Amino acid sequence: MDTKGIVENIKAGVSGIHIQGRDFVRVDEEIEEIAKQLKFKVKEWNQGYGWVDFKTKRALKPEQDVSLYEDLKTIADDNPENNIYVIRNAFSALNNDYKAAARLQQELQRINRDFKSQSVIFLIAKEDIVFPEIVDLLVQYHCPPLASSQVETIFDSLLQEHSINASTKVKRSLVSIFSGMERDTMLRIFETLLNKYAKSFPSQAVERALALKKKSLSRSGLLELVDSSVCIDQIGGLQQLKSWLRNKKHIIDNLAHAQRLGISAPKGVLLAGMPGCGKSMSAKAAASLFNVPLFRLDIGSLMGKFVGESEANMKAALKIAEQASPCVLWVDELEKAFSGINGSGGSAEITTRLFGYFLTWMQEKPGAVFVMATANDITSIPPELLRRGRFDEIFYVDLPSDSERKQIFEVKIRALKIEWSKINFAELAKATSGFSGADIECVINDALEDLFRNDKRDLTQDVLKKHISLVTPISLVLEDKIKIYQELFKNFRLKAASLREEDLESINTTSDSQDSSERENAASNEFISPEKLKQLVKDVNSGVRMAAIKNPRCPIEALKEIVTDYKPFDFKKSGSWSDTQVAKEEFDKAVQHPNMTGDLILNLYATGMIKDEELLSLAHKLSSEERENTFDAAKVKLSRSIASATVQNICFLPGDIVNRDDVLVEIDNEEGHTQRVTTSVNGLIDTIFVKVGETIIAGKQIALILVPKS
């Protein structure tokens, strides 16, 4: 909360401050700090007891009936000089009480007229204060949920206070979980973990904290934290959508660097199309791909019974998402959420206001909140949401093709914990024409239940074909509606989430061409199958091999084969070079590939195939545990000879590689002279702990740099 701004406003003569938020303990502490700076006393009123002692919350007149209208006389009869009056539950107390609102208006005007800069009234409410009598007399401030930097500071102090041991991986996971929460909720969860695990937080503490956060969010009714264990490779088909998401992952993984080049954080995507064809699964897969939390926003659940409550709930929900960024915000069935906007009646007016706020937020939202919106009927979506700038892209999801149905069967059946044999996936795909992904999942589930009932353990082709014949696919159940949808999506000219069968067949056929230039084109195509890429990385032509290695879809099996087959060649010695040998350029490109795994990188480092500087450039591919085992942490602190300084410039960002004596930050010392803080090691910047404009004191940690262990 901006206490400095509040103090300045009070000194400037503002008579009313509205603090919007849910973290009431934090609000109390901030008000106490404001009162201390101004040397004011604090008097509090709440809807439960009337006037109470601000610190103890004990009623000053226990037997008196509580009425804001009547109790405001206390301010009228009081000398407001050097007083802060705190009105709790302000929205509920003023709602439908026009006399109380009118009396409060008079007191705000009296302070403004006779006690300017000497007194102020604080209204505490999670809702917007929109009452016409007083809205123009108030300045609004927010007490938002905790940002990651705030969580890190609080969490570190708690670990030190209680002498708790936790690995870097556990600490980072818990900080991520606590981000976007109210402080009192975070402290409550921390106490639960402390009681259960005492002096050491194991990896299980992360799961426990996540479960407690889910329970907390479900109670608030604002956002639901969803498990996102679905891997993007578990989705059959949708090649263009998956490729697009992988491209966005590269930006999200390197967001600081991208923003430094002027690239904005990805806004999100709208998936429109047939029910049961992977839209919701894609939202979960996107969160897993980006390795960020997935929040589900149910706009219908935000609707409140009081005026202004719905808008306050919407703002609070979106604020949680912002504070927890980077994250994925999943808005399911978007067309139902905003149906009836611009209509008549109270409900329609509320929906219209929510839509307006959501629209503005989509356009201007801070932070890396990636919105995954799904819809079946795009014609019901307000056109304002479909224009460029709201979403980065809009995809149309159709019923799966033959090859996509084959992939769906393969993915689902290979993941089963049951024996299966002699299954012809291509035959199953042909037998399920018109089936959605959900229909196919239903077939497999029914087949498994059949086996369980009959005490069998082997899933066969005959069992699956039997249950295919028993399922009526969605293409028949919604035949007329699907035809209308398909025609509409064609007219809207939306981008297809899937590739056409003939396009896929053409790409894979070209990979077998006798012409090396055609094979090279096929190898560079992002939609070529992984099996074909495994073949092309062994091609006799070096250009084809390099194109296959550069392909974002090049599988780890092929990359592993390249780096293990590579042998440095000394051209100064006698010997013959074969065109089929793995070249140094191919080795380097394979090591840098996005699919390269941390364990393989560490094996190459251990055998001397990659050096320290290369290892640092690949550190982002290592897990937290791998980093902890591979690197030492070097701390950069402000010299003890400098009492205090103001940060003027930060020269590097997390993820940058620095060399000894590189200037890390520029500061102005107490005398106003510019000084430079340099690094004393070669390493990778893991964390920057300061911000431009921040005043820091002697010994303050400025950065954490990772250095390969000896």
What CATH number is associated with residue 203? Answer: 1.10.8.60
Q: What is the pLDDT of residues 123-182, one digit of tens each?
A: 998 888 878 889 889 999 888 778 777 888 888 888 888 888 887 778 888 887 888 778
Who contacts 86 (Cβ-Cβ below 8 Å, separation ≥6)? 31, 42, 43, 44, 45, 54, 121, 122, 124
CA distance 549 to 533: 8
How many domains are contained in the chain?
Answer: 6
Amino acid at residue number 638: L
Q: Which of 397, 418, 436 is the last residue of a domain?
A: 397
Q: Where are the beta strands (DSSP E) in 196-354?
A: 200-201, 224-226, 268-273, 294-296, 327-331
Strand partners, 41: 83
Q: Which of 373, 397, 421 is the last residue of a domain?
A: 397
The count of other CB atoms within 10 Å of the CB of residue 479 is: 11
**Which burial class, exposed, middle or buried, applies to 315 when counting CB atoms under 10 A from its CB (0-12, 13-18, 19+)?**
buried
User: Which residue, among 695, 707, 687, has the nearest Cα to 256 in the 3D structure?
Assistant: 687
Q: Which of 477, 498, 520 is the last residue of a domain?
A: 477
Report the Cα 71 to chain-centroid distance in Å.
45
Specify the pairing of strand 644-650 against strand 663-669. Answer: antiparallel
Own/partner long-range contacts of 65-69 (Cβ < 8 Å, ≥24 apart): 67/100, 68/93, 68/94, 68/97, 68/100, 68/104, 69/97, 69/99, 69/100, 69/103
Specify whether the CB–CB gap between 435 and 474 falls below 8 A. Answer: yes
What CATH number is associated with residue 640? Answer: 2.40.50.100
Is residue 611 situated within a structural domain? no
Specify the pairing of strand 224-226 against strand 268-273. Answer: unpaired
Who contacts 436 (Cβ-Cβ below 8 Å, separation ≥6)? 274, 275, 276, 277, 399, 400, 473, 474, 475
264 and 379 fall within a common domain: yes
Residues of the chain predicted below pLDDT 70: 218-221, 301, 303-309, 339-348, 367, 569-579
Who contacts 417 (Cβ-Cβ below 8 Å, separation ≥6)? none
Specify whether the CB–CB gap between 186 and 151 falls below 8 A. Answer: yes
Peptide bond into 326 cis (omega under 30): yes
Specify whether the CB–CB gap between 677 and 702 falls below 8 A. Answer: yes
Own/partner long-range contacts of 170-177 (Cβ < 8 Å, ≥24 apart): 170/201, 170/202, 170/203, 170/205, 170/206, 172/624, 173/206, 173/624, 174/201, 174/205, 174/206, 174/209, 175/148, 175/151, 176/148, 176/293, 176/324, 177/206, 177/209, 177/210, 177/213, 177/293
Phi, psi of 78 (to 5 degrees): -90, 165
457 and 581 fall within a common domain: no
Is residue 503 situated within a structural domain? no
Is residue 484 situated within a structural domain? no
Torsion of CA 84, 85, 89, 90, to 10 degrees: -100
Is residue 612 situated within a structural domain? no
**At how many degrees (to 10) do helices 402-414 and 501-510 cross?**
80
Half-sphere exposure for 111 (CA within 13 Å, toward CB): 32
CA distance 50 to 61: 8
Tokens linked to 178: 């606590």
Report the sign of the C-alpha dihedral through residues 225, 229, 235, 238, in that order.
positive
Is residue 551 situated within a structural domain? yes
Strand (E) or helix (H) holding 519: helix 516-524
- Residue 448: strand, helix, or coil: helix
358 and 418 fall within a common domain: no
413 and 531 fall within a common domain: no
Q: What is the pLDDT at residue 293?
A: 81
CA distance 183 to 180: 9
3-state secondary structure 175-225: HHHHCCCCHHHHHHHHHHHHHHHCCEECCHHHHHHHHHHHHHHHHHCCCEE
26 and 66 fall within a common domain: yes
Q: What is the pLDDT of residues 332-355, one digit of tens each?
A: 888 777 765 655 444 667 777 778
| Alpha-carbon distances, residue 94 vs 83, 227, 621, 702 (angstroms) | 22, 40, 55, 48
Specify whether the CB–CB gap between 118 and 11 falls below 8 A. Answer: no
Q: What is the pLDDT at residue 98?
A: 87
Is residue 431 situated within a structural domain? yes
Report the sign of the C-alpha dihedral through residues 319, 320, 321, 327, in that order.
positive
Q: What is the pLDDT at residue 345?
A: 46
Amino acid at residue number 268: G
Residue-number span of the structural domain to which 194 is assigned: 148-220
Tokens linked to 141: 């401030």
408 and 467 fall within a common domain: yes
45 and 183 fall within a common domain: no
- Output Rg (C-alpha) for the chain, integer angstroms: 31
457 and 524 fall within a common domain: no
Tokens linked to 376: 């079946």
327 and 372 fall within a common domain: yes
Is residue 440 situated within a structural domain? yes
276 and 353 fall within a common domain: yes
Is residue 565 situated within a structural domain? yes
366 and 266 fall within a common domain: yes
- Residue 272: strand, helix, or coil: strand
CA distance 280 to 490: 22
User: Which residue, among 394, 410, 396, 399, has the nearest Cα to 233 in the 3D structure?
Assistant: 410
User: Which residue, among 272, 367, 386, has the nearest Cα to 328 in the 3D structure?
Assistant: 367
Amino acid at residue number 129: I
Specify whether the CB–CB gap between 149 and 654 falls below 8 A. Answer: no
190 and 256 fall within a common domain: no
What CATH number is associated with residue 54? Answer: 3.40.50.300
CA distance 496 to 404: 14
